Amino acid sequence: MTDEDYARKLDEADRVMNDPNVPMQPALIWRLLVEISEHESQACTKARAPNPDLALAQNTLCTGGAHR
């Protein structure tokens, strides 16, 4: 997924979940969230630093603050 595709999916997820004029579509919301999550997971995997000093900071960023 390109960065443009990712941005479009984020915008669509925001619209579908927050626009009161859009009917609730649970299947679409879940599909978008899965695709967004997969993209973010892949981005974190690619961004892992070989430098151990940077590993903790990257792990924190890629896990939303949780330490593994």
- CA of 66: how far to CAs of 2, 4, 48, in Å? 26, 28, 15
Q: Is residue 52 domain-resident?
A: yes
Q: Is residue 67 domain-resident?
A: no
* Cβ pair 48, 58 in contact under 8 A: yes
pLDDT of 9: 93
Look up the domain containing 48 and give its range: 3-62
pLDDT of 67: 45
Q: Is residue 32 domain-resident?
A: yes
Q: What is the pLDDT of residues 1-60, one digit of tens each?
A: 788 998 999 999 999 999 999 999 999 999 999 999 888 887 676 655 555 555 555 555
Could you give the number of structural domains in the chain?
A: 1
Q: Is residue 58 domain-resident?
A: yes
Count other C-beta atoms under 10 Å from residue 8's C-beta: 13
pLDDT of 40: 80
pLDDT of 64: 56
Q: Is residue 68 domain-resident?
A: no
pLDDT of 49: 53
pLDDT of 17: 93
